[in-house]
Amino acid sequence: MSNCLQSWPEPIVRVQGLSESGIREIPDRYVKRPADRPCFKETTTLSSSSHVLDNIPLINLENLKSLDESIRDETIELISKACREWGFFQVVNHGVSHELMANARGVWQEFFHLPPEEKQKFANSPVTYEGYGSRLGVEKGGKLDWSDYFFLHYLPEPLRDDKKWPSLPITCRKIIAEYGQEVVKLCRKITNILSINLGLNENYLHTKFGGDNERGACLRVNFYPKCPQPDLTLGLSSHSDPGGMTLLLPDTDVPGLQVRRGDDWITVKPVPNAFIVNIGDQIQVLSNAIYKSIEHRVIVNSGKERVSLAFFYNPGGDILIKPADELVTEDQPALYLPTTFNEYRAFIRTNGPRGKSQVESLKSPR
């Protein structure tokens, strides 16, 4: 991407190192504007600027195999409603082994607790973002988030290079490969349901993403160290995911994900052995905004660190993405201009997370 720097604009500071140094106050680079800071006042009513004790829809995917047609139809309808009204839902009985999920989470916890020099062997650059990183965006002097991460490509095959994946712990590469394989199967299953719910051919999204040979998939493992002033910063600033769909394996012990609901931020309570699914900007465009990607952010904790695995299921980078012809009518014209996913992804890699401003910038002039 020609508009991205070849290297970071200033020396990288590892947030885990800051956290473990015993500081009592976070550096100014991590202090958010007052309007962007998390609010920890809990309420059960919807009032602005608070976060709400509520939860996103929970869907049992095993019901899709029910012999009772009404149960199958009801489950498909629940997914449709969740996509239209929330943009987020949790899935259980999804077919991915619980042991594999725990092993994947565990191996990454081990990685982030390796000596700094071991992790530094995999330090990333803004060219591809692959590897061990601590910032999104290349703006010199910009505000930073309280997190480190590891980013890697899984699909398409030509982009995948497991030599760039951690060599320690010794089982890491094997577990990543197996985890990716199983999660891709689940992503395919869910996108088929989304296609049907949009009134399209079951394989519509799969085909538009590039089919088996061109579709993209990548993994971002987020590490949120303990933070002495969690009320002043965020682990990840507000954004919608730029890709197609995200499957998040959250930390089991500490909630951190917040989802925007009107003027409120809802703190998601992860269900054991569930994945959190959310619609990305590319499906918002393909569905002509029938399904919307939703802003979300991550809060941090003074007493506990967190690890989460975000698996992004995306169109191939060079494929032109635009609203489905079948969903464009005289009454509902195409809302977005065509763009490739690589062009689109360059925005967040250059500017960092910026709410919903990116997908809004694609809107067709009326």
Q: Is the pLDDT of residue 365 over 70?
A: no
301: which 2 tokens? 């904790």
Going by pLDDT thresholds of 50, 70 and 90, the confidence category of residue 117 is: very high
Express each pLDDT in 276-308 by its tens digit.
999 999 999 999 999 999 999 999 999 999 999
Q: How far is CA 250 from CA 228, 270, 273, in A?
A: 22, 7, 9
Q: How far is Cα 148 from Cα 150, in angstroms, rounded to an integer?
A: 7
Task: Express as a percent the part of the chain with pLDDT over 70.
Answer: 93
86: which 2 tokens? 């929330």
249-257 average pLDDT score: 91
Q: Is the pLDDT of residue 128 over 90?
A: no
55: which 2 tokens? 């939860």
Three-class DSSP category at 223: strand
Q: 309 forms bridges with which residues in the sheet?
A: 221, 249
Q: What is the pLDDT of residue 53?
A: 42
With tokens 């965006």, the residue in question is 137
Q: Is the pLDDT of residue 107 over 60?
A: yes
Q: How far is Cα 75 from Cα 173, in angstroms, rounded to an integer?
A: 35
Q: Contact at 8 Å (CB) between 208 and 286?
A: yes
Instruction: Find the largest Cα–Cα distance for the chain.
Output: 61
Going by pLDDT thresholds of 50, 70 and 90, the confidence category of residue 351 is: confident
Q: Is the pLDDT of residue 142 over 80?
A: yes
Q: Is the pLDDT of residue 252 over 90?
A: no
Going by pLDDT thresholds of 50, 70 and 90, the confidence category of residue 5 is: low
User: CB burial class (10 A; 0-12, 13-18, 19+) of residue 110?
Assistant: middle
Supply the mean pLDDT for the chain: 91
Q: Is the pLDDT of residue 114 over 50?
A: yes
More confident residue, 5 or 361: 361
Q: How far is Cα 327 from Cα 199, in angstroms, rounded to an integer?
A: 9
More confident residue, 54 or 266: 266
Going by pLDDT thresholds of 50, 70 and 90, the confidence category of residue 51 is: very low
Burial code (b: 16+ CB inside 10 Å, e: under 16) for 283-303 equals bbbbbbbbbbbbbbbbbbbee
Confidence (pTM): 0.93
Minimum mean pLDDT among 41-55, 207-221, 266-280: which range? 41-55
Q: Is the pLDDT of residue 62 over 70?
A: yes
Q: What is the pLDDT of residue 45?
A: 35
Closest C-alpha to 171, from 248, 104, 99: 104
Q: How far is CA 178 from CA 150, 170, 175, 183, 353, in A?
A: 17, 14, 5, 9, 30
Domains of the chain: 15-35+52-362 (2.60.120.330)
Q: What is the pLDDT of residue 162?
A: 92
72-92 average pLDDT score: 96
Going by pLDDT thresholds of 50, 70 and 90, the confidence category of residue 6 is: confident
Q: Is the pLDDT of residue 134 over 80?
A: yes
